[in-house]
Amino acid sequence: MKRKVLSFIALSLLAAACHPAKQPTLAPETIYQEPGVSVITSFFNNRQQTISTLYGNAEALKAARGDSNMVAGAVYRLITWKQKGNPLWFGGNINGAVKTIESIQVSGDGVTHYALVSGVATGAPAERTKFVLGLKASVFP
């Protein structure tokens, strides 16, 4: 009896201490991992329900902080994810699965090379290149 009472108390304490154990299934594949590039800027679009982050190499980052993004050697990667509500906070949105990966390189002669690395095209290469090269760097401290 004593044992029963004790285990009952222990169980209720456990139940009270542990919030329902439901760790969500993680999605590490949505993390973009390419050495040598860092964040230039980010943006989102509620009409498309997408979130995007623009990465670039050192040349691209420098260019996006200046007046012109047409700098030889600049490499850009634009990752666009589906946007979804934050499961743990009503009031916020977070990126979901990757939708598209776009790549732009500026070669020595000022010529640009566009490639849709993954996903379905959302615009003509010339249009997309113009848009990406027009993005300015976010302010970092």
Task: Count interface residues toward other proteins (CB under 8 A).
Answer: 45
Taking the least distance from each CB to ligand HEC, the nearer of 36 and 89 is 89
Residue (of 81, 82, 78, 83) closest to 131 by Cα position = 78
Rounded to whole angstroms, the Cα distance separating 98 from 51 reads 9
Residues that bind ligand HEC (CB under 6 A): 86, 89, 92
Q: Does 94 bind other proteins (CB under 8 A)?
A: yes
Taking the least distance from each CB to ligand HEC, the nearer of 46 and 68 is 46
Rounded to whole angstroms, the Cα distance separating 14 from 110 reads 65
Which residue among 9, 12, 43, 118 contacts other proteins (CB under 8 A)?
A: 43
Residue 16 neighbours by CB distance under 10 Å: 8
Strand, coil or helix: 129: helix
Q: Does 87 bind other proteins (CB under 8 A)?
A: yes
Q: Does 48 bind other proteins (CB under 8 A)?
A: yes
